[in-house]
Amino acid sequence: MTRVALLSRSANLSYFQPLLQGLAPELDVAVWPDPRSLHADVAVCWNPPVGVYDDMPNLKLIHSIAAGVDNLLDGQRTRGLPVCRVVDPQLAQGMLQYVLWCVLTFHRKLDLALSNQRAARWSRPPQTPASQCRIGLMGLGELGGAIAAVLPGMGYPVNGWSRTPRSIDGVRVYAGEDAFDEFLANTDVLVCLVPLTDATRGILNRRTFDALPQGAAVVNCGRGEHLVAADLIDALARGQLRGAVLDVFAQEPLDPADPLWSTPGVIVTPHMATMPSPDTVAEQVVANIRRLGQGESLAHTVDLTRGY
């Protein structure tokens, strides 16, 4: 019998237990902090307790319940074990919808209209065509690439920035550190979609904000650790940035006392941009557990040297 541990220090993953056992009744599933978790063969995780892998002598596989794995790796020693993530085609659709809402919020000046409403002020924000709102996609992986395929058809000039050169129809792509400042200079709405790595941690900082045109806006739906919050608050106060939509935070839930809640120009959403369906997660986890048992290659393994 394969033993599975559902590990998280910030979320209750117990809802996965019936989903996994419904697909594979032979699985023995324990939910952290049940002591049986430490004897598991497979760890299914979201933000697991730091150091927990070292306390699991039988562990053979670490599996994320999402597309990202940085929360599985931060501060952890994976002991050379395989790490897998979830790939759900619906993730790209959900992210496209979220980013489109953010783009429209700033392009159509809905943020200003809402501010006017709170002040009971009837004032029509000036409207401009989509051709005058340049979208910068920082990250052109599965999610960024899907967005880049749609926005040009809606009339938006789209620039993309990635670690390595890419070719996407209708998109001007900048690659590597040397092209980063030029990419930023041609961006009115910056959308952060890069994976969290040592190179991207804190990338949304004062230097990045000051390289954008004055009055630009920022959308972070990558990871909370990409953002230096104090630098964002300062850039908004100085008028360098017009606004920001933040969906991810270094600590979730966001502390009620955090100044981001009340910073003028900031819209906070509760990590809702996109997520895989629980059924899809369970199906992919069970499929990899069976591959592991049969000695087959695992699906959606992570290159730990890159972090994704």
163 included as an active-site residue: no
Return the C-alpha torsion angle 291, 296, 299, 301, nearest 10. 110
> Active-site residue among 271, 290, 291, 306?
271
271 included as an active-site residue: yes
> Active-site residue among 63, 134, 223, 242?
223
171: left (phi over 0), alpha (psi -120 to 50) or beta: beta
- Residue written as token pair 């033993």: 3
Pull the structure tokens for residue 231. Answer: 């630098």
The residues annotated with a catalytic role in the active site are 223, 271
